[in-house]
Amino acid sequence: MLKSEDIKIILGIETSCDETGCAIGLKDQNRIKILSNIVASSAPLQEKYGGVFPEAAAREQIKSIIPVIKEALSQARVRSYQIDAIAVTYGPGLIGSLLVGVEAAKTLALLWNKPLISINHLLAHFYAIWITNDPSSPFKAGQNKLSASESDASPNFPLIGLLVSGGHTDLILMKKHGKYQYLGGTRDDAAGECFDKCARLLNLPYPGGPNLSKLARKGDDKAFNLPLPMINSQDFDFSFSGLKTAVANLITNRIADTTGRSSADLAAAIEHSITEVIVRKTIAAAKKYQVEQIIASGGVVANTTLRTKLSLATKQFLTHGKLYIPLISLCTDNAAVVTACAFYNLNFVDPLKLQANPGISLSNLD
């Protein structure tokens, strides 16, 4: 049975949606150094469809997977015999995309005779914070540039993990590596999905979230009184589909205009509602479980209002509160986080038996 000391270099693969990623990382004391992190994105192609078109995403994965793996090996200057294990995202995600990464990882594990580690994509997002260097700038020996967290130290357990992406809005309690408790998540649309759908109602181009956020900067978030869905529920679940309906009603009933000042005000009010609910629930979870440290990850963490509110609330409401936010480049889909997650979650699987599972969630961890 392999122990964690035996695993020093891991090659990770990520293909859950429209990004094809391969990264190589090595363990350095308590954190992970990424030697290479290659991401090929088919997002520009998806832009044409106004969203991710699963079949097109899967076709792009097939085209990219081998060049991406080759490039990751070449940039890391690592040969196959130096790799101790292969890690791969096996879910959740789009089945056609997941299959490409899973089959590639199984093939490499068998061909190179390496152990295979299966990784839950959602858990991997949190592991951005255990990466010590910025993988987008070339790694040099001795370099120890930390991620853009508010603290230079490794996060201490217990932690509250907040994941806010296009497909997920979840809160977990991380007791230690390998021991997690699911606290709650969205019952319908995820935060990013709500941003994107509201952006479409405002006639903003894809990807909607960043464009809506840009428009919101010119607006007054108090001009419209939008709902704060589930703000007073005693659980840690979220629901954002009603917010989108409220926005649609304002537009249909001509209470809000999709041009000019009115659209900026509406964008600001939408951003306010989404971020307010997320921040309040995250702090409530930290208080309930007496946790002082919070990790936030996922594409929506790129939203400045969310980052600012989270940062202020952590300081204001938690006595020794600390917020960890990874580099934005590590918050979106990439294989560096899969590699980092694998070092601390050695879920060895038989390469002949591993199957992609598009339907798993963070509630499958405990």
Instruction: Report in angstroms the alpha-carbon separations of 58 from 4, 99, 258, 304.
Output: 33, 9, 35, 31
Q: CA–CA separation, 9 vs 3, rounded Å?
A: 13
Residue 166 within binding range of ligand KG4, rule CB under 6 A: yes
Tokens 């900026």 map to which residue? 264
Q: Does 333 bind Zn ion (CB under 5 A)?
A: yes
Q: Which does 15 bind (CB under 5 to 8 A by kind): Zn ion, ligand KG4, none?
A: none
Q: Is residue 326 involved in binding ligand KG4 (CB under 6 A)?
A: no
- Residues in 187-226 that interact with ligand KG4 by CB under 6 A: 192, 195-196, 207-210, 213
Q: Are 291 and 173 in contact (CB under 8 A)?
A: yes
Q: What DSSP character marks residue 254? A: T
| Residue 92, contacted partner among Zn ion, ligand KG4, none, CB below 5-8 A by kind | none
Q: Considering only residues 137-166, where is the footprint of Zn ion by CB under 5 A?
A: 165
Q: What are phi and psi of 268, to 5 degrees?
A: -65, -40
Position of minimal CB gap to Zn ion = 333
Residue with tokens 């840690």: 236
- Span interacting with ligand KG4, options 20-28, 56-64, 66-74, 299-307, rule CB under 6 A: 299-307
For residue 325, give the nearest of 283, 296, 352, 345 by alpha carbon: 296
What's the min distance (Å) between Cβ of 122 and ligand KG4? 9
Query: Rounded CA gap, 184 and 172, in Å?
Result: 7
180 binds, among ligand KG4, Zn ion, none (CB under 5 to 8 A by kind): none
- What string marks each residue from 283 to 322 as x (binds Zn ion by CB under 5 A) or -? ----------------------------------------
CB of residue 64 to ligand KG4, shortest distance in Å: 17
Q: Which one, of 359, 344, 366, lies nearest residue 117 by Cα?
A: 344
Q: How far is the CB of 125 from ligand KG4 (least distance, A)?
A: 7
Closest separation in Å from C-beta 296 to ligand KG4 = 12
**Phi, psi (degrees; rounded to nearest 5) at 121:** -55, -40
Count of Cβ atoms closer than 10 Å to residue 240 Cβ: 26
CA angle 5, 340, 290 (to 5 degrees): 100
Figure out which of the listed residues 293, 303, 314, 339 binds ligand KG4, where binding follows CB under 6 A.
303
Give the shortest CB-110-to-ligand KG4 separation in angstroms. Answer: 29
Q: How many residues bind ligand KG4 (CB under 6 A)?
A: 19
Contact 40, 19 (CB under 8 A): yes
- Distance, CA of 337 to CA of 14 (rounded, Å): 9
Binding residues for Zn ion (CB under 5 A): 165, 333
Binding residues for ligand KG4 (CB under 6 A): 17, 165-167, 192, 195-196, 207-210, 213, 298-300, 302-303, 332-333
